[in-house]
Amino acid sequence: MADSSFDIVSKVDKMEADNALHQAQKEIEQRYDFKGVGASIDWSGEKLLMKASSEERVKAVLDVFQSKLVKRGISLKSLDAGDPFASGKEYRIEASLKNGIEQEQAKKINKIIRDEGPKSIKSQIQGDELRVSSKSRDDLQELIALLKSSDLDIDIQFTNYR
């Protein structure tokens, strides 16, 4: 019997993130507490740029966007937001969405698999994802449950389950 396998990836659905951004823009335009403070959020290349006239307002813009991401099923672990900084008369926050598993995170996940996972499981790092294989599908299911319960700094998904 052939080995069963799956990939561990960390990806953000760009369309869902875009939908969350548009919902946040609508809410910012309509909310009374954002009137006259120059609050906005938009894409700036691959990054998100939030602007407002005060530090508290720009943090509120970030909070609105985070709530929209959660409603759209995107984990906040995928959002990498910086601290507010002054730029002229306004405050800004730059944020980006994390895609792919960095080498350090991949090594950490590999260590969890080796130390706590079933012994029949083999894992290897392939670029920005991990391939996990085993003869037993039950062991793979057990590993998925283990990884979901472990406290990782990134949002992971399981794809290509064969």
Domains and CATH numbers, the chain: 4-11+101-159 (3.30.70.860), 14-97 (3.30.70.990)
Residue spans of the chain under pLDDT 70: 1-2
pLDDT value at position 87? 86
Contact between residue 150 and residue 108 where contact means Cβ atoms under 8 Å apart: no
Identify the three-state secondary structure at position 158.
strand
Q: What is the pLDDT of residues 130-145, one digit of tens each?
A: 999 989 888 889 988 9
pLDDT value at position 2? 63
Contacts of 24 (CB under 8 A, 6+ apart): 41, 61, 64, 65, 68
What length does the chain have? 162
Contact between residue 78 and residue 10 where contact means Cβ atoms under 8 Å apart: yes
Q: Taking Cα atoms as reference points, which of 81, 102, 86 lies closest to residue 24?
A: 81
Q: What is the model's pTM? A: 0.84
CA distance 113 to 120: 10
pLDDT value at position 72? 93
- φ/ψ of residue 160, rounded to 5: 55, 40
